[in-house]
Amino acid sequence: MTSGERLTVGELLEALGARLSRGAVEDLARPLERLCDRGMLALPDARPAVSACVMAAADAAAGPPEPAPALLVVPAGTPWLDGYPGAAAEVADARLALALASALFVDPHLPPPGVHPRAVVHHTAVLGEGVRVDAAAVVAADAVVGAGSCVGAGAVVGAGARLGVDCRLHPGVTLYPGVVLGDRVTLHAGSVIGADGFGYAAGRTGVTKIHHLGGVVLGDDVEVGANTCIDRGTLADTVVGARTKIDNACQVGHNVRIGSDTLIAGLTGIGGSARVGSGVIIGGAVAVSDHVTIHDGARVAGRSGVTKDVPAGATWAGFPARPHRQFVRELYLLGKLEEWWRRTKAGGEGAGPA
């Protein structure tokens, strides 16, 4: 939705696959100008009369919001909904509803297509229909930029790089030569895709660089946060699967392969040749050693250090990372050490752990 358009309650419900649980038919035509949560409704500039409020289960547990928004979206089975006086809808997954709704309220602020006079586009580069290349951006020889894509100010698309349709390169992004992006890939400011990995041979004559001949391939709908680096492979490609999201300030080493629908939080570093499966969630500031595998559906808690393979569907934590239950028990026992030491020193009974 752009700033000149107004979404209605009915249109939002259609997008969510929901219908009114409370309210009247005329509520469906009410215009919506903003999306909010419970906390925003209490702010002086809340404008509840034109707001849609999506409430998570924890917020819904506190009772109905005041003031009432134009549309309230709550988890199915919210107990107080029967007595709610305003327009409301129930959904099975409130967080998914928030994600779907947020897409309808985005104003992309994109200028019209075209090449800025101060951009540099090589004569052998191919720009699809509706492409935008902003000031000081560079599109090098033989690069291909898919239809509807935007190359932000100061971004660099290296020689032979290929972008699918509707990609978004924010200001200062660097794509090294030969990088391949699928459709609808978003790279945030300052991210660097395709730099050489950290590969050297150390011997009697000193340190010799191992030249990196592979590339980087990002699948459809991948999003990479600001100032994140994804290194090119040594011989084969570094690969990130479709719909995977990587947060700000992460490092993905050479030859890494990441599956689809995986979430990687900020400040995480993944060592060379590691494997991360599909549907994995990695918390912030995690260190993943080179050549280990985190299997499909696994979870790794923030600030963990992964030094060996994590089984599919498992949740690990700690440094070094181990099964979460083991980690929690060890923390508990560690907290008891001083007490046991004092009891042992005093000669008390039952000095050891239970």
One-letter identity of residue 179: V
The answer on pLDDT for 243 being more than 80 is yes
Gap between the Cα atoms of 350 and 324, Å rounded: 27
- The region of weakest confidence among 95-104, 105-114, 256-265 is 105-114
Which three-class secondary structure string do you get for 297-336? CCEECCCCEECCCECCCCEEECCCCEEHHHHHHHHHHHHH
Please identify which of the residues 254, 291, 295, 324 carries the catalytic annotation.
254
Q: With a cut of 90, say whether residue 41 has pLDDT above it.
A: yes
Determine the CATH number of domain 7-104: 3.40.1390.10
Q: Is 301 exposed, middle or buried (0-12, 13-18, 19+ CB in 10 A)?
A: middle
pLDDT at 347: 80
Mean pLDDT of 60-78: 96
User: Which of the residue ranges 23-37, 152-166, 336-350 would you say has the lowest mean pLDDT?
Assistant: 336-350
Query: What does pLDDT average to over the chain?
Result: 96
Percent of residues, the chain, with pLDDT higher than 70: 97
The reported pLDDT for the residue numbered 351 is 54
Comparing 9-13, 106-110, 137-141, 337-341, the range with the smallest average pLDDT is 106-110
Contact 191, 175 (CB under 8 A): no
To which H or E segment does residue 59 belong? helix 57-60
Residue 212 is a catalytic residue: no
Q: How confident is the model at residue 114 (pLDDT cuts 50, 70, 90)?
A: very high
pLDDT at 84 exceeding the cut of 70: yes
Task: Specify burial of residue 8 (Cβ count, 10 A radius: 0-12, 13-18, 19+).
Answer: middle
For residues 105 and 84, the answer to whether their CB atoms sit within 8 Å is: no
Query: Rounded mean pLDDT of 79-97?
Result: 96
How confident is the model over 286-338, as pLDDT tens digits? 999 999 999 999 999 999 999 999 999 999 999 999 999 999 999 999 999 99
Amino acid at 229: C
In terms of pTM, does the model score above 0.75? yes
